[in-house]
A and B are shown apart, each in its own frame.
Chain A
Amino acid sequence: MDFELMINSFPKLISAAVITLKLLSVSLIVGLFIGLLFAILRINKNSIVNKFAYGYSYLFRGTPLLVQIFIIYFGLGQIEYLRTTFLWVILKEPYWCAIIAFALNTGAYTSEILRSAFQTIKPGIIEAGKSLGISKKIIFYKIQIPIAIRQSLPAYGNEIILMMKGTSLASTVTLMDLTGVAKYIISTTFKPIEVFIVAGGIYLFMTFIIHNVIRLLEKKYKFN
């Protein structure tokens, strides 16, 4: 055990963890909107809209995240037309490519989580809203969405943790996130166990925090 290395690499890994958290939070926020949009499309009665949303979630849940990042980072840059548009400003940066891939990926899983939450809302609740003379729009925004969010909290908590682990793939497109820095230290010192303990410990700590925050939220918004 090389304790000196562990202590020396700790600050480097912590500052890398900040990048991991940045990647995670931005892609979660964007992903949540994508997920909500596609969940609404999924419960739409129009079968074309419905199939489109299903196709999106099937595509992103059926392929590895690594393929998705590579297609966006290496693949899209190949299209000559894209290089001339303003999108190129975003797509040439590995940071934004990673975020696009993560957001689309977590969006697909989130849409499934929210869809099942929407579908398990008791029809009586919506009918009660209707009989009170509340407009459809308000029923949707003020009744269906809050209940769906509450019901999907436990599953969404898992998704956040899975996504946090997913951000480690940013290191494959040259980003120095927690895993990227850990790999760099391992490959220069050849002390994999020590670095793994420190980096893994930081990841576990973040998992622990996320897990408990979700538990708190679940308790706070509990209803019978």
Chain B
Amino acid sequence: MELLAFGDTGWGDELFYATLMTIAVSITAIIIGFCFAAIFTPLKLSKKKIFNLIANSYTTIIRGVPELLVIYLFFFGGSGAVMFVASIFGYNEYIEINAFITGAFAIGIISGAYSTEVFRGAVQSIDKGQFEAAKVLGLSKFAQFFKIIFPQVLRLAIPNLSNVWQITLKDTSLISVTGLVEIMRQSYIAAGSTRDPLFFYSFAAVLYLLLTFLSMKLINKLEIRYSKGY
């Protein structure tokens, strides 16, 4: 137990901050994922073939390629891409992007592909009459979407989005390969310096279980809130 003490003698505080980092990366990533979903879901539902093609290739590629490979692409390619843009403006020094941003962005793109599929399914399962009724009421396009369609989409999407959240949360463990100090990386450091990997990795497993358990409780509450009246 003294291994988990707070302060200089144990790893308690380090692991606590690492857990906060995991939560922070996961939330940032899922928000980035929602942004991607907001762009690609309309493209997927659009009647134009070319838009469908773009959105479908995004979701197919991301869902068919391992997460780790995508993370390596961003880890090794990210600073190169930024440096290329910077070199256009005449800045030729080496630029290193923050591991947090790279990681959150990589996981966000992955999570976005899953969210896009969830939102597409939710929009498609809404009764056609709802769209027509919204139009007939003479609402503006903006109000049609945000007041009538979107709340229903949310209700249908929340159960599946909770799966996406779980996947995203677990995927953040892969960012440890880029050196961002989240639960996995911190356990790796602690295991290396104390020569007690079994304890620290098992503790990491417990932390992840705790996070998934607590987030499920929270999402269940949301689910109940959004299914009022059904």
Whether A133 sits at the interface, judged by CB under 8 Å, is no
By a CB distance below 8 angstroms, the chain B residues around A171 are 68
CB distance from B191 to the nearest CB of A (A): 7
Stretch of A63-71, A108-116, A124-132 contacting B (4+ beta carbons < 8 Å) = A63-71
| Chain A residues with CB below 8 A from B77, complex form | 192-193, 196
Q: For the complex, is A179 an interface residue (Cβ under 8 Å from B)?
A: yes
Name B184's closest neighbour in chain A (CB-CB).
A66
Query: What CA separation (Å) do A199 and B80 show in the bound complex?
Result: 19
B160-179 contact mask (Cβ, 8 Å, vs A): 1 or 0 = 00000000001101101100
Tell me if A182 counts as interface (CB < 8 A to partner B): yes
Q: How far is the CA of A167 from the CA of B198 in the complex (A)?
A: 22
A166 to B65 alpha-carbon distance, docked (Å): 10
State whether the Cβ of B61 lies closer than 8 Å to any Cβ in chain A.
Answer: yes
How far apart sit A66 and B173, CA to CA, in the bound complex (Å)?
A: 7
Q: Does B5 contact A (CB under 8 A)?
A: no
Interface residues on A, range: 35 or more
Q: Are B197 and A203 in contact (CB under 8 A)?
A: no
Residues of B with C-beta under 8 A to A182: 69, 72
On chain A, the residues within 8 Å of B73 by CB distance are: 192-193, 196
A67 touches B173 (CB 8 A): yes
Question: A190 at the A/B interface (Cβ < 8 Å)?
Answer: yes
B129 contacts A by Cβ under 8 Å: no
**Could you tell me which residues of chain B, from 171 to 207, have a CB within 8 Å of some CB in chain A?**
171, 173-174, 176-177, 184, 187-188, 191, 195-198, 201-202, 204-205
User: Which residues of A sit under 8 angstroms from B72, Cβ to Cβ?
Assistant: 179, 182-183, 186, 192, 196
Which single residue of chain A is at the shortest CB-CB distance from B72? A183
Q: Does the CB pair B204–A74 fall under 8 Å?
A: no
Report yes or no: B208 in contact with A203, Cβ–Cβ below 8 A. no
Query: Which residues of chain A come closer than 8 Å to B198, judged between CB atoms?
Result: 71, 74-76, 78-79
Which A165-205 residues sit within 8 Å CB-CB of chain B?
A: 165-169, 171-172, 179, 182-183, 186-187, 190, 192-193, 196, 199-200, 203-204
Q: Which of B68, B69, B201 is A74 in contact with, Cβ under 8 Å?
A: B201
- Check A74/B184 contact, CB under 8 A, given A63-B208, A187-B76: no
Q: Is the CB of A62 within 8 A of B69?
A: no
CB < 8 Å neighbour of A64 from B184, B191, B202, B213:
B184
A165 B80 Cβ-Cβ under 8 A: no
A171–B72 CA distance with the chains assembled, in angstroms: 12
B184: chain A residues within 8 A (beta carbon) = 64, 66-67, 70
Let me know if B7 is at the binding interface, CB within 8 A. no
Q: Which residues of A contact B69 (CB under 8 A)?
A: 168, 179, 182, 196, 199-200, 203
Q: List 12 A-B contacts (CB under 8 A).
A: A63-B205, A64-B173, A66-B173, A70-B188, A70-B204, A74-B201, A164-B66, A165-B67, A168-B68, A171-B68, A196-B73, A200-B65
Known: A190-B76, A200-B65, A203-B69. 15 other contacts (CB 8 A): A64-B171, A64-B184, A67-B201, A67-B204, A70-B188, A71-B201, A74-B198, A75-B197, A78-B198, A169-B68, A182-B69, A190-B80, A192-B73, A192-B76, A204-B60
**Residues in A lying within 8 Å of B, measured CB to CB:** 58-59, 62-68, 70-71, 74-76, 78-79, 161, 164-169, 171-172, 179, 182-183, 186-187, 190, 192-193, 196, 199-200, 203-204, 207-208
